[in-house]
Amino acid sequence: MSPKASIQAEALALGFDAIRFTEAVLPEATRTRLDAFLESGAHGGMGWMETRREQRAQPRALWPEAVSVIALGLNYGPDYDPLASLEQRDRATISAYAQGRDYHDVVKKRLKALGQWMARHFKGSALKVFVDTAPVMEKPLAAQAGLGWQGKHTNLVSRSHGSWLFLGEIYTTLALEPDAPESDHCGSCRACLDACPTAAFPAPYRLDARRCISYLTIEHHGPIPHEFRRAMGNRIYGCDDCLAVCPWNKFAQASAEMQFAPRGEVAPKLAELALLDDAAFRARFAGSPIKRIGRNRFIRNVLIAIGNSGDTALLPAARALCEDADPAVADAAAWAMEQLTA
């Protein structure tokens, strides 16, 4: 068995759902697109994208010894309709990827296991593993390796798994034959673009993160801009709209990974969430990606959803937070009160 075939077999045995290989080089066009994105300010407050742009744009700028990149995918397809809870206005809509255990932990553990296996079988080689938090252009690398293609919503789309793949990468000094990239199969479809509640796509294949509900609910600090509050609806952590409407999801299967299964109610009650103090928030979301935004941003989002609920029974929950110590929480509580009493 060739080195490439043996690595592929081990990855699948470890539970990865997809694996492809590419050279540790990205085309200049990728750098050009990244520069345009950053120079337009479309990255919003994600300053970390700017500070390490050189390493992000080219794998060997991050690690000069890298020869090949192994791109891996782990299916997190939900076994329920991720948009169904949008109609339950007294409940919260939480992105499918955040319903279970933090994918950083799950994917990195498997990447390390595969890396340890490679270290034993390919003496003298070296490698580094990455999941999301490093300056790595995950989606362009995955597309170049053939895991899928970047759709008009800029996310990866897979012929086999639709929109629902967590990505991870192994940079290695091994010379492994690259796979062919996947061609773009979006055609004339614009379902993802038309589904966006905040018009965050100024053009196909271009995202303005400053308008994206995932950015606003997770990365954005401080008060949510007023122009986006109504459009947020009851989305309190992330947004699946552009992912969920993709026609390629008809080929996707629900994830078999139990760690990605919802840990509680898919759509918890807003009244219940609004009661969480810092300790209760940390306890409830231990091991979840939600924990990383902290109690204050989370409650800010919950209050925007309460304001959009139209349910006056939630007025006491909003009123109780009008004097919160965090200014963004107090601001959102006052806004929710205004909406429910208008």
- Just list the catalytic residues: 132
Is residue 41 left, alpha or beta, with left meaning phi > 0 and alpha meaning psi from -120 to 50?
left
Give the integer Cα–Cα distance in Å for 117 and 256.
Answer: 23
Give the integer Cα–Cα distance in Å for 67 and 63.
Answer: 9
Task: For residue 206, list its beta bridge partners.
Answer: 203
First CA to last CA across the chain, in angstroms? 70
Give the integer Cα–Cα distance in Å for 41 and 44.
Answer: 6
Question: Nearest to residue 69, comparing CAs of 181, 184, 153, 183?
Answer: 181
Identity of the residue numbered 123: K
Give the integer Cα–Cα distance in Å for 40 and 221.
Answer: 20
Question: In 10 A of CB 35, how many CB atoms?
Answer: 12
Give the integer Cα–Cα distance in Å for 216 and 210.
Answer: 7
Is residue 253 left, alpha or beta, with left meaning phi > 0 and alpha meaning psi from -120 to 50?
beta
**How many helices (H) and strands (E) are present in the chain, helices listed first?**
16, 8
Specify the DSSP class assigned to residue 162: B
Give the integer Cα–Cα distance in Å for 237 and 255.
Answer: 20
Q: Give the distance between the most distant pair of CA atoms in the chain.
A: 70
Helix (H) or strand (E) holding 90: none
Specify the DSSP class assigned to residue 309: H
From residue 86, how far is each of 21, 96, 222, 245 by CA, in Å? 38, 13, 24, 14
